[in-house]
Structure 1
Amino acid sequence: MKKLLSFLGILIFLLILGLLGFVFWQSPKYQGEITLEGLSQPADIHFDKYGIPHIYAQSEDDAYRALGYIHARERLFQLEMMRRVGSGTLAEFLGPDLVDIDKFFHTLGIPKHAKESAAAFVNQGETSWKKAADSYIAGVNAFILEDQLPVEYLLLGEKPRPYTVEDMHSIIGYMSFTFAMALKTDPLVTKMARELGSEYLKALSVQTLPEHHFIPVNYPDSLLKENLLVSSQLSELLEKLPAPILQGSNSWVISGSRTKSGKVLFANDTHIGFAAPSVWFEAHLEYPGFSFYGNHLAGVPFGLVGHSRRHSVGLTMFENDDQDFFQEKLNPANPNEIVIGDSIFPITSRKEIIQVKGQASIEFEVRETVHGPIMNPVSKEISALTNNPVSSWWVFTQEPSKALEAIYRMNHAQSLQEIADAASLIHAPGLNIMYGDAEGNIAWWAAAKLPIRSDKVHSKIFVDGSDPESQPKGWYPFTENPQSINPSSGFVASANNQPDSSRNGHFFPGYYYPGERWNRISKTITSKEDWDTENIRSLQLESINETYPKLIQFLLEEVRRDDFQDWNSALEMLTKWTGEHQLNMRSPTIFYKWLYHTLRLSMEDELGKDAFKAYLETFMMVRSNSHFITFENNPWWDKKGTDAIESRADIINEALKITLEELSSQFGKNYEEWEWKKAVVFEHPHPLGSQKPLDKIFNVKSDPVEANEEAVNKLAFDLNGEGIYKVTSGPAMRILLDFGNVEESISVLPTGNSGNRFSKHYADQKELFTKGKYRSQLMNEQEIKEKAKGKITLLPKP
């Protein structure tokens, strides 16, 4: 027995020793010297307390080569997931469960578009942005060749192939797809219009309503340039995506007339699906003539958000409608042709091959009309609506992407005009470009190519593809796009809400949010003239929704109090709710479940369970709630299949009864115990975390946060009947910068800067994030070197 125990003890010791050795081998080192192929001169990388690399190089080529190497070392598996989603090669890497996603992306045309964009990028010649991208790619591949790969590759039994410029455009394509709200929304709106009729749509906010908040525009003549008019079941799939979806954002830029320093103050918090690692990788680059602190997507060498010492650039989603679906009319004499007016056009086809891990490859056909790919085979929502082909006309696939050039130009810009010129290169996805500089300029541009539609086209209902008058009619010039340059208000802000009319008086349709965040931002900024990075934090961290307390008052007016005498104190508490979402409050716990059941009892009988669930996941639900509940002639209240005609009061009271019963069962009969924190779950999922027990290893669990819908600090969740709300998206960083002292700018990430599970920087910012704290974005060379927690010197190979 003693010998057995001794043997077991030695075995456990050796296992622990082996595990520690493996962890040490896998952990990225933040100290030492590394030789890097292609480097012309030594480059130093100083790592601060949070593992953010500060790269000092002697040339642009060396700087981007170093960035590519260190970005791959910290985020290679994230890069792998992003490029495989965009290139339609997930099944090759993860197995047959992902075949349908690959088919969807190939049909939509993102891999094809990536090839075309990469070719156009190369054909431009040796531009500065191509040279920088090539250097970055070389750095990524240098790390891949080292073969010290992240543990995820070991678990999957895979190795990465070399990184390419086509992969880079695949990642940009995936980013653009995540903005494409039409794929979720338009089939649902078309279903409502066809099966229920216009009266049902009137109770919703299919388009922006007059009571919503609009972003003001201000067009400066100084930036005008000649720009002529030219012609020219998804939710289930998305749940399988191993990469975060970009969903919204806030940004505001305040002029010196409203700040304590007298200089521009810049704020940005992009709203993206939470994941481990979080989407942004921070890096600071310095080489002669260039200094920039950026937030980078995996695989992209230029910072989509970032700042130099003289300018800062941020972004939010424009949410413009850039995708239409054309229901085609087949030629009766030839099913491989469509009819438009008196003309006949062929349906073309191309073969796509999907490699599948552990199985034979799959060949399938993608058919296309003059409008775009036919989506019926890969969209259950579309195929359920019609047997006729439905083609996707999407702005993104209409021309090669110039996003890399645009972002490079923004990083290197020296003036307001250069930013405007760069923004004009972005054709899709629609982005609100936010800008501020040391000279005192502030600006916002809605960057996208905006299509001209016929008045006959409803942008969220399938278009009659056979009508000649309903065809795309060209583009509005970029100078007509909504924008605001140095407005007299002293600030610009965007929060995914509807921009005011363009210069030509046109309200461009989109999937905009109601503007409650924008309104809070606007009212708060204009209330003071001494803003700085200290006192503006409370706005960025605010969890107040001013609309929902008004809505709950309306609901309470419909309550038959005699039926709820045992709950008088709980209902009285609701009357005092100010719209905050503090964790010890009970009002949010009651409100969201009550809202869910009110909508469910109203809509599920008409839509069915699947379509109702889809409705809850669209922008339309968020911006329709108030209108839906207060709309006097709302036909949704009456239940299908009952003899009685149900009223609004009937539905609201039934929903309240169910809500109180369920919460009593869930949290106890004393409503004082229904604290919001008990209903909120906050976890950052890793692509492998869906497989137990890997969730315990890779997922990052955080303390509950003040989950909310449409507060400035938007921490979103899907409304559901369970009454447990998993926070799915929110600020992917929180940046505050005052040009009174750029080197004192601050930010925070939801998890950490490293994607390596064994790095100490994998989740070292999660507590800062949940507690509403920040850390410095260091740019001062002396401070960086004095405070550095590690230094790697990259040396040229002899």
Structure 2
Amino acid sequence: MKVFKKLSWIVLGIVAIMALSSAIYVYTHTPEYVGNIETDKLSKKVEVYFDTYGIPHIYAEKEEDALRSLGYVHAQDRLWQMELLRRISIGGLSEVFGEDMIKTDKFFLSLGIDDASQKTVENVSKDNPMVVLSQAYLDGINQFIAEGPTPIEFHLTGLEKTPFTLKDIYNTVGYMAFSFAMAHKTDPLLTNIKNQLGPAYLADLEIGVNPKSTLIKNYKPSIRDSIKNDIAGLVSEVLKDFPVPQFEGSNSWVIAPNKTKNGKVILANDPHIGFAQPSVWYEAHVNAPNYEKYGYHLAGVPFPLLGHDRKLAYGLTMFENDDIDFYYEEEKPNDSSFYKTSAGWKKYELVTKTIKVKGEDDLSFTFKKTHHGPILNGIADQVMDQRPIAMSWIYTKLENKVMDALYGMSHAQNLSEFKEALPDIHAPGLNIIYGDAVGNVGWFATAKLYQLPDSTDTKFILEGSTGMDEPIRYLDFSENPMAINPSWNFVYSANNPPDSINGKFYPGYYLPENRAKRIVALLEPKNDWDREAVQQMLLDATSGVNAKVVTNLAKSMEVKEMTEAQISVLDKMNVWDGNNQLHQIEPTVYHRWIYFLLKNTFEDELGPQMFQQMLDTHFHKRLIAPMAAKDDSVWWDDVNTPDSVETKNVVVNLSFRQAFQSLEEDLGGEPNKWTWNKVHTLEHGHPIGQIKALRSFFNVGPFPISGTREVINNMYFKYDDTGLYPATSGPSTRRVIDFSDIENSTSILPTGQSGNPFSEHYEDQAEMYNQGKFRKMMMNKEEIIKTQKSMLVFEPKK
């Protein structure tokens, strides 16, 4: 008995020591929201007030001091996120996650982002105000790296902290420029379809801009062989388990004073980005003499991509323009070190890169490069032993002044100054929306656009040896699509195509008109908009297009061959208004039906691999509504049944029966229980949360979530054979800026402000986000001080 008691005391002692050690670890690794920190290079004291949601409100007497403080508090909440983002472009993910990331690292190194960043940094003036402020921000990050606690992710991965440099900022922006990545998924796939199936199979794929669809209107005031390649498969593979979110789409609109209740501009924006933990944006309210901005920052970037003050506000969506072209290169017979150009044979440039791999020896690889760009064939197994394919990407070809644009936008005092900064954005293509306190509204498609020969179709791989498919000229920014103070009193973007200018449409990878159509339908008739109404509009989950799809499909249904239960479900679908709420069955039935419709229509010709690649593109979303309305198409026939020719009726009925049967198998025999909340969920995944034992600690969720694909509350998911629809991307924030009451403008984040799992602000907004709630973006200093939760003071080192 005495031995047992002794052992019990030993065990209790060990448990107590472990508990105490854990408590000390948590305490010492929680972000500092209270106290005093001495800082190098600081001229005067900086006060940082943290509000209820952990958002810093920074007050400094000099903007450089404010940026140093921003860098520190940003790093203590998001250093791990900063680390991952800067590693993408340099091929540094394998050093963290091991050999599974080698293909991804090879691909991103071949893009040349890091090389372009190095060139930019070498040429930029250190006296440039943008560089001065960026360096101050980096000083803050690096002080936290040197003196602050090491985030738990670094301990778990064995990664050492290293200082950040100006090149890291450019590499992060470079990743943002690429993350859209739709050209890599689309152009090679369409080329394969054309070469293997023939031009007739392209006719119904909605590749180009339909002039009859909902377009963003411009308004300016009077001022050969069958070649198989699999670049699409390459991109799908390297991005499959990508540890950081990608930019996907977005909604935005700005309502002019004539259409608002209080006669002031209202701006709304909800950029659609892949869900992850931490979420993409870090909010900060920065104040210095002659400067104030409440902004949304990427990890490691000093200037906000979204922002507002008392004078103006701005937001963004992806333009979705085509800024990547692929070229077949012709190699010299008997000497593969040369490739053919219109001026003769030219020697390939050979580029060698080295990748550090966790637990393994360093890996070096070499790829070829032409005047167009890198040859992708040697980057992964998918494109080996075929004609060389080079990638031409405008981001790495032109002078990089994107950071100058972000500085200019965040420091503009009026519409004229704001517009002056926009031509510096050459890539990624962005729709920038603008509104201000004096009543101006604007939409600007920002990108360095270029003109190709009329005979060139950029949706296919081009011929690189002839010189016939080269850009003719770069367009001046004045030729870009835009609308400033239009007569219809609002501007908007939903990643849909802009109307033509000079009789031409700009090629791109635009989203279907569903969201745009709904936005215009809601905005046009109403002239008394206020903040609350705009908030509700951001949560709208109705698709009139989807309801019309059901109407068109129902015309093909053979009711006599259906069971009573099937007829009952079809009757319910026929009166559906296209809404997508948690306890409805219609969205569940709709998406199961559409998946089988797409599968039965396209997979027989494409095969399983190319069919899955199609589901990764935007154009598959654009073709659903047109195909539902189309009675005749070469795609309706099943090529695997040579003795019969299938019609639309056959495919539609088969797809409905398969959907119904699969729902019975998955959710039971009572259709009224097939509710959307059982299959549509949202989980914010942390890279380390992929380890099952750590999932509940690092990940946030899963939660049932309303909304669906291509509604304003756009909760995107991929179609596959699982019958489940976990949302992979959606609103990365919902912002409403009301110039009639600027200090009560509202916002929300998907999880929380902090990326530190020990912080109370790691997921404190998640439930609010799921419920469609908003919180105030505080700007009044007296109110901030009065309601602050904590205060951190930065002082010059003595």
- For Structure 1 versus Structure 2, the TM-score category normalised by the shorter chain is over 0.9
Correspondence for 1:283: 284
Whether 1:76 aligns to 2:76 is no
Correspondence for 1:431: 430
Superimposed CA distance per residue, residues 342-381 of structure 1 (whole angstroms, 9 cap, x where no aligned partner)? 6222211121111222221111112111111101122555
Residue 467 of structure 1, CA deviation: 2.2
Residue 130 of structure 1, CA deviation: 0.8
Correspondence for 2:661: 661
Letter in 2 for 1:269: D
Aligned match for 2:68, one of 57, 65, 69: 65
Correspondence for 2:231: none
- Spell out structure 1 runs of 4+ moving beyond 4 A: 379-383
Partner-residue secondary structure (3-state), 1:538: helix
Residue 4 of structure 1, CA deviation: 2.9
Q: Distance in 2 between matches of 1:333 and 1:2?
A: 84
Correspondence for 1:675: 675
- Could you tell which deviates more after superposition, 318-327 or 625-634? 625-634
Aligned partners of 2:266 and 2:736 also within 8 Å? yes
Residue 767 of structure 1, CA deviation: 0.8
Correspondence for 1:515: 513
Q: Distance in 1 between matches of 2:121 and 2:768?
A: 39
Superimposed CA distance per residue, residues 184-214 of structure 1 (whole angstroms, 9 cap, x where no aligned partner)? 1111111111111111111111112233210
Correspondence for 2:645: 645
Letter in 2 for 1:506: K
Q: Distance in 1 between matches of 2:74 and 2:86?
A: 15
Partner-residue secondary structure (3-state), 2:337: strand
Within 5 Å, which residues of 2 pair with 1:147-296? 147-222=148-223, 233-296=234-297
Within 5 Å, which residues of 2 pair with 1:378-777? 378-379=379-380, 382-383=383-384, 387-502=386-501, 504-566=502-564, 567-642=566-641, 643-777=643-777
Aligned partners of 2:632 and 2:648 also within 8 Å? no
Correspondence for 1:49: 52
Aligned partners of 2:433 and 2:443 also within 8 Å? yes
- Could you tell which deviates more after superposition, 567-576 or 370-379? 370-379
Residue 572 of structure 1, CA deviation: 0.8
Aligned partners of 1:517 and 1:711 also within 8 Å? yes
Residue 12 of structure 1, CA deviation: 2.3
Q: Distance in 1 between matches of 2:348 and 2:6?
A: 77
- Could you tell which deviates more after superposition, 72-81 or 714-723? 714-723
Residue 702 of structure 1, CA deviation: 4.3
Superposed CA RMSD in Å reads 1.3
Superimposed CA distance per residue, residues 750-776 of structure 1 (whole angstroms, 9 cap, x where no aligned partner)? 000001100000000001100000001
Q: Distance in 2 between matches of 1:161 and 1:595?
A: 49
- Could you tell which deviates more after superposition, 627-636 or 108-117? 627-636
Letter in 1 for 2:144: F
Residue 608 of structure 1, CA deviation: 1.5
Letter in 1 for 2:95: E
Letter in 2 for 1:531: W
Aligned partners of 1:249 and 1:269 also within 8 Å? yes
Residue 288 of structure 1, CA deviation: 0.7
Cα distance change of structure 1 residues 87 and 319 upon mapping to structure 2, 3 Å threshold: same
Partner-residue secondary structure (3-state), 1:51: coil
Q: Distance in 2 between matches of 1:356 and 1:29?
A: 33
Residue 524 of structure 1, CA deviation: 1.1
How many equivalent residue pairs? 783
Aligned partners of 2:311 and 2:414 also within 8 Å? no
- Could you tell which deviates more after superposition, 642-651 or 256-265? 642-651
Q: Distance in 1 between matches of 2:489 and 2:306?
A: 22
Aligned partners of 1:593 and 1:721 also within 8 Å? no
Aligned partners of 2:376 and 2:391 also within 8 Å? yes
Q: Distance in 2 between matches of 1:789 and 1:382?
A: 55
Partner-residue secondary structure (3-state), 2:378: helix
Correspondence for 2:797: 797
Residue 623 of structure 1, CA deviation: 0.7
Residue 427 of structure 1, CA deviation: 0.4
Partner-residue secondary structure (3-state), 1:511: coil
Cα distance change of structure 1 residues 382 and 493 upon mapping to structure 2, 3 Å threshold: farther
Q: Distance in 1 between matches of 2:400 and 2:249?
A: 21
Letter in 1 for 2:547: P
What is the percentage of aligned positions where both structures have the same residue? 39
Aligned partners of 1:316 and 1:432 also within 8 Å? yes
- Could you tell which deviates more after superposition, 84-93 or 401-410? 84-93
Compute the TM-score of the two structures, normalised by the length of structure 2.
0.96
Aligned partners of 2:216 and 2:496 also within 8 Å? yes
Correspondence for 1:349: 350
Letter in 2 for 1:568: I
Letter in 1 for 2:471: P
Q: Distance in 1 between matches of 2:632 and 2:323?
A: 32
Aligned partners of 1:615 and 1:621 also within 8 Å? yes
Q: Distance in 1 between matches of 2:21 and 2:334?
A: 71
Letter in 1 for 2:159: E
Residue 333 of structure 1, CA deviation: 5.1
Letter in 2 for 1:107: S
Residue 565 of structure 1, CA deviation: 2.1
Cα distance change of structure 1 residues 263 and 381 upon mapping to structure 2, 3 Å threshold: farther
Superimposed CA distance per residue, residues 99-143 of structure 1 (whole angstroms, 9 cap, x where no aligned partner)? 11111011111121121222233xx34011110001001110000
Whether 1:114 aligns to 2:117 is yes
Correspondence for 2:228: none
Letter in 2 for 1:235: S
Partner-residue secondary structure (3-state), 1:470: coil
Letter in 1 for 2:136: S
Q: Distance in 2 between matches of 1:458 and 1:364?
A: 33
Aligned partners of 1:685 and 1:698 also within 8 Å? yes
Letter in 2 for 1:166: K
Superimposed CA distance per residue, residues 392-451 of structure 1 (whole angstroms, 9 cap, x where no aligned partner)? 011111123211110111111012121111111100000011101111111111000011
Q: Which runs of 5+ in 2 are unaligned?
A: 224-233
Letter in 1 for 2:186: T
Q: Distance in 2 between matches of 1:67 and 1:549?
A: 47
Superimposed CA distance per residue, residues 586-624 of structure 1 (whole angstroms, 9 cap, x where no aligned partner)? 011111011111111111121121211111111111111
Q: Distance in 2 between matches of 1:709 and 1:379?
A: 31
